Structure 1
């Protein structure tokens, strides 16, 4: 694709897009204000003429592409430009001065765009005229002065979706921002890729409308950088392109763009795509939240709100395998609430549930390493796995667990160990060295050894910690 030839078509399309965009906004404002006087029909004719001219722009073939001189091709546009000028004058005359609000300002912008287009056509291929209102240039990522702006605040509520619009042309920004705000969105607008990335570093947005052709940093590079941080469902990106070739569109979609719209932006189509991707993003967030809840239900104990037996079993198996691979020690701690059945019989099961919750919270709150896991094992039993811990270290931790429960001083008049709720604790540890089926058996044996130590703690008077002997 010849960039220079593409730029000629891009430069010509820009004022035509402005004519269409501002005219459609004026049509909406006229309907809202209840103003007609024939202006609505004339505006529709103006928009139709602009679309006809846009088709001619898209058909341009430069001499480098084998086409005739541009002056010869532009000669065919004289009648259409005259029709646009006449229709614009008719609309201006039909719209009353009083009660028209910002209508005349937008009509002036339509006139500016028509004049700018006429100047470009008269200039032919001799020069490329600058945009009459390109907005300040962004010279680099550290220079944000004047290069970004928020659209007027509008009436959007605080929880309305936030959209970042990125385009180096201020008229394009204004058209999109104003129309989106009318739909209830909160809109921020920036005129360069540098400043789009700066805003993304400081603020949160729900969707980006990103122009493809921009100086310094084009939309493709901005998209690449956005996708390094945000996935397509985290931050949808819709590319806005005036390039009428499938290669650029496919490239953007392959790089992670969610969708695209072409200039002039068909606003109802763009709005439908924006709503679709915002809804998909919301569905993705809902799904992530549902998955998080499912994880909690699957791996957390419903009564005590600490990890459950399933969570422990999987964590223990993973840490055992890691300890075997890396020749590290591992220890387990088994705990049992002393005389819990007599407690339930005397105080009732509701009181028993409260004790389980309090004990679970106390065990979970005991300071430990991030790799250590405390879980409910079943009934009144709790368990901990301590990767990388020697048995002596595990015994110290087990004593802290026992003491944390005793410190609760939960009344237990039916206990033979104390006047309050206490724990008996068994500890076992080893350094795994075998693999295969034998490794699974050794992992189970470690738990059995901890259980035997727990039995010894109970037989020895309860409310104490006992350690298993070293494995054979």
Structure 2
């Protein structure tokens, strides 16, 4: 584990010095992965357990505990990992390589990757088989841990608070043990009183998030019992998750933007063809399930190629945007939808609409474009017009089991396209409804 070569530079000297500190300390320093397997250990493990670091890497702490102890400690550690919180004071019995039992007190903090996922824990084990001055050392660890920790008694007094907790409270002046939590954080005291009542009844206290001084904290209260089993206080861990929650919010917003772009046409803001095909498939299923008619209108701008060639693509894009606004402005129900289906083609899906009603709506769509009076020299009218084909599916029968939904959808679009072709051949600027029944 330790590089025995003589260091050759200042950086290597620092690394060697750090390793010497870790490997010649009274405490055993370690790291485990998310599954609890040791990935790194200081050489102190040999003094504590009688095994070398190389022998221990890849094993778990529970491999060195008697069966009953391993089960108990594993359950406690699993609860800690599930909550991804720091821990301290986890006392456990271990069997050394020579068969002797040694009592260790374990503390650790979670390690996260750049995405905020738990990648393991870093911590230390201390031999408390003979206590002596160890209690004072444990208090030092408690006080210097970067996670805010405190203990609250039943009267709301802060019995203990480490430096991180004092900083969280705004660097309270004076003796922290003289402070009432109900005064320092009145918004939290009512919830802690409920925690006491829950703990008295043997219930499990839930972790939660609170907002304090503009930050978001994940807090984990744990009841503290006296020798008689009475609840005398709450030990509370406070983890600042502000940055993580902000990252989650930004990710959610980014996903929402991506979802919008995936479903909408960048030029007109209408739904795009890919999303509209999905909508049509779902609309067909509902039409058959609820036994109602479903109509579609396939609309195409007349002489648009000549318009685009004569006035340029920028004018053509602006024309498409105006037409999209005109079609969207026609009054319709929330379940109706309009999309840019490709080029100068637009598709309107009309659930619960028979052929005659669809023709009337299509006529209003045509009139909305006609009313724009966009000059178009290629058109006999002198301005921009639109032709529309209408097709209707009568959903008064069961959904055909031998006909895939995409085939039914493409057949309905084909009927509308044939009707549109007929409108084009009969002078344009008109609505034609298909009389061809959908084949089941």
TM class by smaller structure: 0.5 to 0.7
Q: 2:292 aligns with which of 319, 328, 332?
A: 328
> What CA distance in whole angstroms lies between the structure 1 residues aligned with 2:432 and 2:411?
17
1:390 is aligned, of 346, 349, 354, to 354
Residues 248-294 of structure 1: CA deviation (Å, up to 9, x unaligned): xxxxxxxxxxxxxx95657xxx3xx21xx222221221121111111
- The 1:318/1:449 distance shift into structure 2, 3 A limit, reads same
- For 1:453 and 1:428, locate their aligned partners in 2 and report how far apart those are by CA, in whole Å: 8
Residue 415 in 1 paired to residue 415 in 2? no
Given that 1:17 and 1:263 are in contact with CA atoms closer than 8 Å, whether structure 2 keeps it comes out as no
Equivalent in the alignment of 1:429: 392
1:466 is aligned to 432
- Whole-angstrom distance in 2 between the partners of 1:363 and 1:463: 15
Secondary structure of residue in 1 paired with 2:377:
coil
Separation in 1 of the partners of 2:161 and 2:267? 65
Match of 2:415 in 1: 449
1:32 is aligned to none
- Distance verdict in 2 for CA 1:263–1:446, change over 3 Å: same
2:47 matched to which residue of 1?
A: none
Q: 2:159 aligns with which of 14, 17, 20?
A: 17
Moved more, 288-297 or 337-346: 288-297
Give the 3 Å change call, closer, same or farther, for CA 19–429 of structure 1 in structure 2.
Answer: closer
Please report how far the alpha carbon of residue 223 of structure 1 lies from its aligned counterpart in structure 2 after TM superposition: 6.2
1:342 maps to which of 296, 306, 327: 306
Distance 1:218 1:389, change over 3 A: farther
Are 2:152 and 2:158, in contact at CA under 8 Å, matched by a contact in 1?
Answer: no
> Does 2:327 match 1:318?
no
Aligned counterparts of 1:420 and 1:443: Cα–Cα separation in 2: 33
State the SS of the aligned residue for 2:265. coil
Instruction: Check if 1:357 corresponds to 2:321.
Output: yes
Q: CA deviation at 1:378?
A: 0.4
Secondary structure at 2:374 match in 1: coil
**Counterpart residue number, 2:341:** 377
- Alpha-carbon separation, structure 2, partners of 1:28 and 1:459: 79
**Deviation at residue 217 of structure 1 after TM alignment:** 11
Q: Is the 8 A contact 2:205 2:222 kept in 1?
A: no
Please state which structure has a larger fraction of its residues in helix: 1
Describe how 1:64-463 pairs up with structure 2 within 5 A.
103=173, 106-107=174-175, 110=177, 171-175=180-184, 177=185, 189=187, 191-193=189-191, 213-215=195-197, 238-244=218-224, 270=238, 273-274=239-240, 277-416=241-380, 418-432=381-395, 433=397, 434-440=399-405, 441-463=407-429
Q: Structure 1 pair 243/389, CA: closer, same or farther in 2 (3 Å)? A: same
Question: Over residues 128-169 of structure 1, what are the superposed CA-to-partner deviations in whole Å (9 max), with x where a residue is unaligned?
Answer: xxxxxxxxxxxxxxxxxxxxxxxxxxxxxxxxxxxxxxxxxx
In 2, are the aligned partners of 1:212 and 1:218 still within 8 Å (CA)? no
Over 3 Å counting, the alpha-carbon distance change for 1:222 and 1:369 in structure 2 is farther
Q: Give the gaps of 5 or more residues in structure 2.
A: 1-150, 226-232
RMSD of Structure 2 on Structure 1 (CA): 3.9
Structure 1 CA distance for aligned equivalents of residues 295 and 372 of structure 2: 26
Contact 1:426-1:450 at 8 Å conserved across structures: yes
* TM-score normalised by the chain length of structure 2: 0.54
In the alignment, is the contact (CA less than 8 A) between 1:20 and 1:264 conserved in 2? no
Rounded to whole Å, the distance in 2 between the matches of 1:431 and 1:345 is: 41
- CA-CA distance at 1:11 after TM superposition: 4.4
Task: Tell whether the 8 Å contact from 2:224 to 2:234 is kept in structure 1 after alignment.
Answer: no
Q: CA deviation at 1:238?
A: 2.8
CA distance in 1, matches of 2:375, 2:255: 39
For normalisation by structure 1, the TM-score amounts to: 0.50
Shift of 1:16: 5.6
Unaligned runs of 5+ in 1: 1-8, 30-101, 114-170, 178-187, 194-209, 246-261
